[in-house]
């Protein structure tokens, strides 16, 4: 088991043991859990939220955009990020909530760029307001930082076809690690499946392109897994569903 801070692009501790590609021919299947850590920082109004965003650890921004995907839920999330949900339910600002809700972290090269987009949206909204909305004391926005704990499943894949057969059985947290968190870890913003398949020749290039085109942010992890299964099944002509 290894712990990786979400601010770091490289896994800490024994980085080699957590790498999904042990060598060009073996894909090591990993699983993960996202640990929530209190930062001690809270905002009660929109100006305070903006000021904290300038300096808060990027691991907190990562958590508030992506962490909800790993939380068990019995119903679909109303908003995909915690900032939008807070704007709607604590500040009662529907306009701001909708503007925050459409921010897609996939479209930003790194967490610093995502931070700036969020600040820009808040500042634009503040410029439109005569009065700054406040939340009740029990509805302050609490900034949470996350760390990823990585587990080795001890499953190994030695061919692209075997990977295709395995994807339907992967846990949603494994999908998160290999397809979502991998894009943060990789300098090329590439998911682990595509990075490994690229070692197997041009015949897999079309599949890699289709995987790269998938935007995972607005999909529940179960739907994301289903979409990945469909792409693998189509490419290899398999009945995986």
List, for residues 7-16, the tens digit of each pLDDT value: 443 333 333 3
- The encoded tokens of residue 158 equal 């030695």
**What is the bridge-based pairing of β-strands 26-43 and 141-157?**
antiparallel
pLDDT surpasses 90 at 75: no
Q: For Cα atoms 81, 86, 87, give the angle at the middle one, nearest 5 degrees.
A: 100
Q: What is the pLDDT of residues 121-171, one digit of tens each?
A: 999 999 999 999 999 999 999 999 988 999 999 999 999 999 999 999 999
Q: Name the token pair of 157.
A: 């894949």
- Counting Cα atoms < 13 Å in the Cβ hemisphere of 150 gives 27
- The confidence score (pLDDT) of residue 107 equals 92
CA distance 58 to 51: 14
Spatial CB neighbours of 231, under 8 Å, sequence gap ≥ 6: 207, 210, 211, 214
At residue 239, the pLDDT reads 74
- Residue 104 phi/psi, 5-degree rounding, is -110, 110
Which of 28-32, 51-55, 107-111, 156-160 has the least mean pLDDT? 107-111
47-82 burial code (b ≥16 CB/10 A, e <16) = ebbbebbeebbbbbbbbbbbbbbbeeeeeeeebbbb
The residue extents of the domains of the chain are 36-145
| Residue 79 near residue 91, CB atoms below 8 Å | no
CA distance 188 to 219: 22
pLDDT in tens, 194-238: 999 999 999 999 999 999 999 999 999 999 999 999 999 999 988
pLDDT value, residue 193: 97
Contact status, residue 36 vs residue 50, Cβ threshold 8 Å:
no
Judge residue 175's burial from the number of C-beta atoms within 10 Å of its C-beta, 0-12 exposed, 13-18 middle, 19 or more buried.
Answer: buried
């Amino acid at each position: 088991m290894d712990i990786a801070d979400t601010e770091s692009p490289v896994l800490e501790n024994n980085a080699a043991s957590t790498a999904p590609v042990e060598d060009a021919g073996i894909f090591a299947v990993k699983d993960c859990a996202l640990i929530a850590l209190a930062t001690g920082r809270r905002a009660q109004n929109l100006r305070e939220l903006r000021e904290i965003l300038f300096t808060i650890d990027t691991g907190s921004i990562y958590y508030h955009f992506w962490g909800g995907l790993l939380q068990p839920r019995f119903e679909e999330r109303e908003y995909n990020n915690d900032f939008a949900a807070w704007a709607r339910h604590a500040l009662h600002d529907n306009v701001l909530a909708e503007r925050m809700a459409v921010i897609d972290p996939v479209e930003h090269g790194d967490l610093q760029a995502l931070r700036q987009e969020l600040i820009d949206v808040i500042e634009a909204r503040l410029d439109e307001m005569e009065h700054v909305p406040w939340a009740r004391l029990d509805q302050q926005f609490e900034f949470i930082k996350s760390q990823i704990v990585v587990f080795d499943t001890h499953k190994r894949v030695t061919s692209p076809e075997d990977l295709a057969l395995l994807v339907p059985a992967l846990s949603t947290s494994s999908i998160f690690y290999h397809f979502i968190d991998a894009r943060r870890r990789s300098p090329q913003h590439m998911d682990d499946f595509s990075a490994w398949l690229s070692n197997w020749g041009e015949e897999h290039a079309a599949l890699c392109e289709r995987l790269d085109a998938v935007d995972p942010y607005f999909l529940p992890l179960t739907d994301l897994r289903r979409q990945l299964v469909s792409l693998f099944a189509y490419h290899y002509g398999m009945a995986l569903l």
